[in-house]
Amino acid sequence: MATKKNALGMDVTVPEQPVVVPPAVYGQMARAAADFSKAGLGKDSVNQQQGFKFRGIDSLMDLASPILSRHGLLMLPAVRSRSVETRKTRNDSLLYNVVLDVEFHFVSGLDGSSFPVRVIGEAMDSGDKATNKAMSAAYKYAMFQSFCIPLSGAMEEADETTPEETVAAAPPKPEGYDAVRAGAMEASLLGTEALRAFARTLGVGGKDAPEFKCWGYLVKHDPAYGLMKTSAESADKKAAVDALTREPGQEG
């Protein structure tokens, strides 16, 4: 408690204001940023396909390790989510596209305080390295943007290699698909309503019925469905023309 005079000149006792000490991690990160600003990181690695230069993960770790250690900082990763998509190249080779949601924690070795940094890492690979590459990309951009590490030129994507342009690969065909496909093709020759009626028969057992799943695969993933629709529309037009040219009283 402290004694002060009020507006009337009388002594009054007032509580002392507590001293607020900020978490140590902020000061440590600021001092580390100062060292990063002096060192910088150039583009020493070269993309094998497109020829551009970029900052490699090894160069960044060589730079960051002594700076983080000198300032008593740890960087701990935690993967919050991971998604994988299989894609095809123009040569029908498979690539695995991995997207990681990663939360890094900069932790102070002085008082245990921490600061979270959450980033997205994405990468593709034909083998088992897509997750590793995505993790490297997340780490690199967490470091670049947290410490504002000076870079020469615009940021490039993080992979050393650039995969071919891809399209999403279709999932495996469900059991019994070929029979459903053949039935749909036959129905399409009779017209749009016949094709719709065929689809309704597949849905009698509900959306989880194997036949209905086959129909869903046909609509979403088989290019032949577009040909079936065209065939059904052609049958509709032919039926309309036949109806107009049919003589009165004559049935088709």
Residues 6+ apart with CB under 8 A from 184: 195, 198, 199, 215, 218, 225, 228
The pLDDT, as a whole number, for residue 97 is: 93
The pLDDT, as a whole number, for residue 140 is: 93
- Domain assignment present for residue 214? The answer is yes
Q: Is residue 34 located within the same domain as residue 120?
A: yes
Give CA–CA dist 113/25, Å, rounded. Answer: 6
Q: Is residue 58 located within the same domain as residue 133?
A: yes
Structure tokens at 109: 């070795």
- Domain assignment present for residue 29? The answer is yes
The residue among 132, 150, 168 that closes a domain is 168
Q: Is residue 189 located within the same domain as residue 156?
A: no
The pLDDT, as a whole number, for residue 12 is: 73
How many Cβ atoms are within 10 Å of 41's Cβ, its own excluded? 20
Give CA–CA dist 218/224, Å, rounded. Answer: 8
- Domain assignment present for residue 191? The answer is yes
The residue among 123, 142, 168 that closes a domain is 168
Entry pTM: 0.55
- Map residue 148 onto helix, strand or coil: coil
Q: Is residue 44 located within the same domain as residue 147?
A: yes
Q: Which residues of the chain have pLDDT under 50?
A: 153-156
- Domain assignment present for residue 93? The answer is yes
Q: Is residue 61 located within the same domain as residue 151?
A: yes
The pLDDT, as a whole number, for residue 121 is: 95
Q: Is residue 163 located within the same domain as residue 181?
A: no
Which pLDDT tens digit goes with each residue over 10-37? Answer: 777 767 777 677 899 999 999 999 999 8
Q: Is residue 104 located within the same domain as residue 136?
A: yes
Q: How many domains does the chain have?
A: 2
Which pLDDT tens digit goes with each residue over 143-175? Answer: 999 999 887 534 445 555 666 666 666 788 888
CB 235 within 8 Å of CB 190: yes
Question: Which of these, 136, 72, 66, lies nearest to 107 by C-alpha position?
Answer: 72
Domain that holds residue 76: 24-168
The residue among 144, 168, 192 that closes a domain is 168
